[in-house]
Amino acid sequence: MPKVTQVLKHVSVQTAGAKRSCARARAKHSIAKGEPFLLVKDGQGGYRNFCPECAEPILEVAQIDLDRLRVELKIQAQEP
């Protein structure tokens, strides 16, 4: 069976090896060494770090987008 393509391979949860800043709220949030954070790569070698608080709405929007794509695919597959 063919391997399933991962469309979210540019997003992962990492553990900070050193203090990092949160890309969504740099002045307010930091990510301490040893804390988990959401890492989003841009595909061109760049990346952004998000603390768990700021990552939550990002993941919520991503879930809504995935749900919408699934529904659209089902609807279009049913069209004659």
Longest dimension (CA), the chain: 55
- For 19-69, write each residue's pLDDT tens digit: 999 999 888 899 999 999 999 999 899 999 999 999 999 999 999 999 999
pLDDT of residue 40: 96
The model's pTM: 0.85
Q: Which residues contact 32 (CB under 8 A, 6 or more apart)?
A: 16, 19
Residue extents of the structural domains in the chain: 11-78
- For 9-21, write each residue's pLDDT tens digit: 999 999 999 999 9
